[in-house]
Amino acid sequence: MTVGMKVHQALGMLKTLSGNFHSFAMDTQDPQAKQMFQNFSKQMDQISNDLTSRLQYIEGQEPQYAMENMTQQQASQQQDKQQQMRLQ
């Protein structure tokens, strides 16, 4: 597995975690827990943004990662769509 593929995989996991924390925040009635889960979700989003920037750099430096990861990216996008549908 290439570095690019591993980063894509990590991004998918971070997005799943963010969605889970968002869902937990929506499901709880405890204001303190709600705030904690919202903060966790925001942190995962920030880490995802930072990692996305790093991935763009990696793919810019090593174009073969972009080609190898196209299928992985499509799978990740499909996973994101499924996660969004579950949250609605």
Residues 6+ apart with CB under 8 A from 86: 19, 23
In a domain, 27, yes or no: yes
Q: Among candidates 84, 73, 4, 13, which has minimal Cα distance to 48?
A: 13
Residue 47 lies in a domain: yes
Number of domains in the chain: 1
Task: Give the mean pLDDT of the chain.
Answer: 84
For residue 88, being part of any structural domain is answered with no
* Tens-place pLDDT, residues 5-20: 888 899 999 999 999 9
Neighbours of 78 (CB within 10 A): 10
51 located within any domain: yes
Domain that holds residue 51: 3-83
Rounded mean pLDDT, 64-88? 65
Structural domain contains residue 39 = yes
